[in-house]
Amino acid sequence: MKKHRESFVEGCEANGIPERISNKLFDDMTDFSSYAFNKSHAAGYAVVAYRTAYLKAHFPTEFMAALMTSFMGGDGSKIAQYIRNCKELGVEVLPPCILKSVRKFSVEDGKIRMGLRSVKNCGDGAIDAIVRMRESGVRLGSIRDFVDNTEATATNAKVVESLIYAGAFDGVQPNRAGALRMFKLFSEQAKKERGRVIEGQGTLFDMIRDEMNQSDEVIMGNDFGLPQKLAFEKEVLGIYFSGHPLDGYRWIIDEIVNVTSDELNHPKEYRERRTAADVIMVGQITNAKLFTTKKGEQMAVILLEDLVGTVEAVVFPKPFAAAGDAIRENGIVVVRGKEEQDMDGAARVIASKVTPIERVEEFFLKRNDNGRQQ
């Protein structure tokens, strides 16, 4: 293989591929050749690889929609990764929507629309009921329209709450907190009235409809704040969609971070990344497990989520004690430490320091000859 490197790199350069990329591709092929399949198996994989590459190159929107559909129902990490890939390809991904989404990810005006099946608690029965309602020609202009025209048994409160949290009702009512309040009010009223309906007789719900129309603004109230919206999206979609808790700290991230979780988890894909002895990361603690050592000291194992993924960090007693109350779920912190692999080969960080993002200035301070910060 190695004797063909020069001609391979020259061919790549002739096609506008940088030497760094062509050498990486050749290295990957060289590594693979040491355990490659037999020719018949390899030929089959080659055909699949060619077709996949062709579809991605010529039909990126349809390809990515199908790819994300295949990962619906997971923890959301793959979906998040592919949404980032879509941005790199210039393909916009739209949130789920009860007015337009179908079961799977779909293509809509050159963009990708998330499928309703990607929303937690939204099963096939509920999706079919929503689609049937749309196909019947019902105009969904309000939460009340949805309550009045949707099969109650198929779209229970848990389903609707999850859809609202995911932003699927934003096209009907962008105030998610208000949409939730209105749904609970109207669905409870409708439930009571269904038991009282006498053929040919108006219901109490009909009679007070005009009065309720006038009080919609009062019922609506304030919306969730962005942090709460993001938390709900993470809960029901497995990803942050409207933003990310770290968005407000991007300037800090650009200034001090020297490695991402993706670089730690996939080192072969980042062979030319930084060689600094220390790892410095900014992330949100999404899980924190506390332990007591044999000496009676506390330590923790945290799951740190940055803008591209997650990585585990171990905080031994000394840095744990220095961290104070920084180690808590949903806390945003700066972590300094060493990278290593656990017994299963997974990447993790052995933290030497965990600092709340509010005290990030500590990472800009230099030490003088006496070891003091200045």
What residue segments make up the domains of the chain, in order of their start? 86-237, 247-363
Specify which of 32-36, 236-240, 313-317 reaches the highest per-range mean pLDDT: 313-317
Which residues, at least 6 apart from 97, have a Cβ–Cβ distance to it below 8 Å?
113, 167, 168, 170, 171
Higher-scoring residue by pLDDT: 250, 192: 250
DSSP secondary structure, 91-149, as one string: --EEPP-TTT--SS-EEETTEEEPPGGGSTT--HHHHHHHHHHHHTT----SHHHHHHH
| Residue matched to tokens 């709340």 | 356
Query: Do residues 336 and 280 lie in contact, with contact meaning Cβ atoms separated by under 8 Å?
Result: yes
DSSP β-bridge partners for residue 367: 373
pLDDT at 175: 95
Q: Round to whole Å and give the CA distance between 284 and 72.
A: 24
pTM reported for the whole predicted model = 0.75
What is residue 180's predicted lDDT score, i.e. its pLDDT? 93
Mean pLDDT of the chain: 85
C-alpha pair distances (Å), 336 with each of 8, 184, 305, 306, 311: 40, 46, 14, 14, 13
**What pLDDT sits at residue 131?**
92
Structure tokens at 131: 């689609």
Least confident of 58-62, 172-176, 192-196, 201-205: 201-205
Q: Rounded to whole angstroms, how far apart are CA atoms 229 and 362?
A: 31
In the prediction, which pLDDT does 338 show? 94
- Give the pairing of strands 111-113 and 93-94: parallel
- The answer to whether 124 touches 73, Cβ cutoff 8 Å, is no
Burial-class residue 180 by CB neighbours within 10 Å (0-12, 13-18, 19+). buried
CA 335-266-312 angle, 5° bins? 35
Question: According to the model, what pLDDT value does residue 40 have?
Answer: 80
Give me the CATH code for the 247-363 domain, please.
Answer: 2.40.50.140
- How does pLDDT run across 146-164, given as a tens digit for each residue? 888 887 667 789 999 999 9
